[in-house]
Chain A
Amino acid sequence: MSSGLSVDAVDGPGGEEKPPEDPEAPQQLAGRSPTRIALGRLARDKVAVVGTVVLLILVVLAIMAPLICDWWNIYPDQKDPNAPTPSQMLDGNQLPSFGPPQYPFTWDHPLGIEPQSGRDNLALLLYGLRTSLTVALLATVFSTVVGVTLGLLAGYAKGAVDAVLSFVIDFFLSFPFILGALALAPIITSRFGGDQDTLRRAELLSLVGILVLFGWMGLARLIRGQVLSLREREFVQAAQVIGVPTWQILFKELLPNLVAPIVVAISLSIPAYVAAEAGLSFLGIGLTESPSLGKTVNSAVNYFERYPLYLWTPVVTIMIMVIALNLVGDSIRDAFDPKTRR
């Protein structure tokens, strides 16, 4: 954020309208869509580029997790018949028999072995990344769909529908999120009790469900506000006059005008969901069956002095991921709307 945009353009929410500081704009008379302009700005933003590269590396690592683990001959759990049993990996104190903290570094297990369970830390990390990104992406997709749809409806429909939807938005905003998640998590999960594999999937879905349930309101309110003003514009009135069906006005006329706030909301909600997943798992109310970075942090706390590597790898990974996502999200917001700076 310190680069790319000059500080003058960065300051002041809702200040005087400045012409976009785009050096190429005067020469190029051909029209460019706002999205193109934003992408151009983004490509010149060094922070955004670095953040995107970091994220791409993380995403590739997450996608390739099974391949990497296969190739390295490491396993995130003991289900695989080839996986070593805990007794092969641990000594009498439940500490690893290879690698840190008691023995020198070994390439077989570059990030060490988890105490108590004897699983490989690198495998846990890669699969944890995978879980984290999956949950965040699913939650973002669903909460965006819900938020946009309800926001469009509330803004476009006057009267009772708007009043009810606005109340629902206010209600969920007033609901203490973590306590709500506390109450809901075990109930949804136990509905799907059964074998470990179903339970794992149920847990993942219920976590996504909880994140969506408490995550759609911000966007819905934003969209509602935008639609309230867009609704009175000529192009919408024209569409109404010539008898365009309502759903078509909503999704074909209004939605394209809302791309910028939606993209911004998406880019800022992904890091929030990544952090929330790890946070809930850290508290023990998120994921218990799937590998999760937050869960690893929680169990590593007891070993922080004897085995710092075990604690710091998931901590640093979460930090890098969330910081990179936030920096990119912030750059995207700047690119789409350089006026709103706080």
Chain B
Amino acid sequence: MRDDRLVTIQAGFPVGGRSPAFQEDPLFGYVVRRLMSSVLVILLASFAVFAIFYLGPSSPAQPVCEGSGRACTPERLANIEKSMGLDKPVLEAYGTYMKGVAVGREVVIGAAEYDCGAPCFGISYGTRGEVTDELKERIVPTILIAVGGSLVFLTVGVGIGIAAAARRGTIGDRALVSGSLLVSSVPYYLLCLLAWLYLTLKTDIFPTTGYFPLSDGDPFKTFTGLLLPCLVLGVASSPVYARYSRGQMVDTLGDDFIRTAKAKGLAGRTVLLKHGLRAAIVPIVTIFGLDFGTLLAGTIFTEKIFDVDGIGVWGLDAISPPQDLPVLTVTVLIGAVFIVVSNLIVDLVYGVLDPRVRLG
């Protein structure tokens, strides 16, 4: 899947193909259009999850009804649905939900009433706490893992890629290319699982893994706890970046300006990093930006295996009965926001990084 995207992206981004003439208001119009379609995507994604549950066979109120301790008769279920506003058409209920996100609202679950301030993503059926509060807590480890993992694979992966491109054709280069293919073929969750079983449980190489909030006042423990998850994520993603940045570097190093730089007597390192990498970095950043959202939305395996209470595990827990609709909606919503926003940033940053590209 990932490879498909790489190919698509390469084909889809015109580099320097546009006319250099400046148009009337290229950037503003472009930004507005991109923003609008981004918002539309996010709204549609959250509506989709909402609608799925409405059209699903069992009512979203079922867990509330069953969880209240008394027998769940059809009449009681209907009453609870009515109190929660679930008897209304799906569009109206979604409208109420979105209004809550904007300005806050009163949430009624069965007999209980909750005052849910903006941004209100509802009240969890399970914990009866505000979803927004828990979201704020759970988003931290997810972001930490994704950022930590990215740091690892950006330094290791891109570093290896550059080194291989500079030694192109040697045995080391060949070994790297085939080795990276092998490593990237192993499904990520297996790597993650084996690392946890054998590095944390069986041996004491990484004795404590998991998430210990910064608010516990022990930043070192937070760091060591997330070190292995970040390393595994980084190592698993490195080969893709190594191969990709190697390809880009090889391409760039064949350009005339590199020959000029060498000819005028610049040091090899300067040519490689200041001239070569500067030109090759643009597509690498693009891929990273497009991947980062997916990475954030997809740390679910890392979280489950290393027992980290992040967004992914939250969603996973919300799906096993009793199902927790507000939680599930917010996880999908946040996942879509991550992906859309990072794609948007890539598109906007692209013009800054590569002055040849004109947006619009």
Contacts and interface: CB of A to CB of B under 8 A. Distances in A.
Nearest to A337: B7
Contacts of A222: 4, 7-8, 11
Interface stretch (B53-61, B74-82, B107-115): B53-61
Contact of B52 (A1, A183, A301): A183
B98 interface: no
A342 B248 CA distance: 7
Interface string A179-190: 110111111001
Query: Looking at A175, A183, A219, A333, which has the most chain B CB atoms within 10 Å of its CB?
Result: A183
9 contacts: A8-B169, A167-B37, A171-B44, A176-B294, A178-B297, A183-B53, A190-B58, A222-B7, A340-B7
The 9 closest A-B pairs by CB, nearest first: A176-B335, A218-B4, A342-B247, A176-B297, A326-B185, A187-B56, A275-B187, A323-B185, A272-B1
B177 A186 contact: no
Interface in B177-236: 177-178, 181-182, 184-190, 193-194, 197, 201-202
A215 interface: yes
A279 B52 contact: no
Interface in B290-336: 293-294, 297-298, 300-301, 304, 312, 315-316, 319-320, 323, 328, 331-332, 335-336
A174 B336 contact: yes
A280 to B, nearest CB: 10
A315 interface: yes
A327 interface: yes
Contact of B8 (A14, A174, A218, A285): A218
B353 to A, nearest CB: 19
Interface of A: 1-2, 7-8, 10-15, 167, 170-171, 173-180, 182-187, 190-191, 193, 215, 218-219, 221-222, 225, 265, 268-269, 271-272, 275, 278-279, 282-285, 297, 301, 304-305, 311, 315, 318-319, 322-323, 326-327, 330, 333, 340-342
A7 B332 contact: no
A110 B247 CA distance: 46
A304 to B, nearest CB: 5
A171 B41 contact: yes
Given A301-B197, A326-B185, A218 B202 contact: no
Nearest to B178: A2
Given A7-B168, A7-B169, A178 B298 contact: yes
A319 B186 contact: yes
Contacts of A284: 316, 320
Nearest to A147: B4
A221 B45 CA distance: 20
B315 A221 contact: no
B1 A322 contact: no
Contact of A186 (B6, B173, B293, B319): B319
Contacts of A178: 297-298, 300, 312
B298 A322 contact: no
Given A186-B319, A187-B56, A279-B301, A327 B44 contact: no
Given A275-B187, A304-B197, A305-B202, A182 B328 contact: yes
A265 B4 contact: yes
Contacts of A315: 190, 193-194
A190 B58 CA distance: 8
B178 to A, nearest CB: 5
A179 B318 CA distance: 11
B136 to A, nearest CB: 18
Given A13-B247, A326-B181, A297 B190 contact: yes
Contacts of A282: 189, 301
Main secondary structure of the interface of A (DSSP, over half): helix
Contacts of A268: 1, 3-4
Given A174-B45, A179-B315, A179-B335, A12 B247 contact: yes
Contacts of B323: 186
A321 to B, nearest CB: 10
B14 to A, nearest CB: 11
Contact of B178 (A1, A275, A333): A1
B244 interface: yes
B254 A15 contact: yes
Most-contacted residue by chain A among B244, B293, B300, B323 (CB, 10 A): B300
B41 A225 contact: no
Looking at B7, B42, B181, B182, the one whose CB has the most chain A CB atoms below 10 A away is B7
A318 B190 contact: yes
With most chain B CB atoms within 10 A of its CB, the pick from A178, A179, A186 is: A179
B105 interface: no
A177 B2 CA distance: 13
Contacts of A2: 174-175, 177-178
A201 to B, nearest CB: 17
A269 B3 CA distance: 9
B316 to A, nearest CB: 6
B3 A319 contact: no
Contacts of B294: 176-177
Nearest to A13: B247
B250 interface: yes
A279 B4 contact: no
B10 interface: yes
A2 B5 CA distance: 24
B246 interface: yes
A8 to B, nearest CB: 7
Contacts of A326: 181, 184-185
B193 A297 contact: yes
A7 B173 contact: yes
Interface in B321-360: 323, 328, 331-332, 335-336, 338-340, 343
A1 B186 contact: no
B90 interface: no
B147 to A, nearest CB: 18
A295 B48 CA distance: 28
A257 to B, nearest CB: 15
B49 interface: yes
Contacts of B340: 174
B186 A183 contact: no
B317 to A, nearest CB: 10
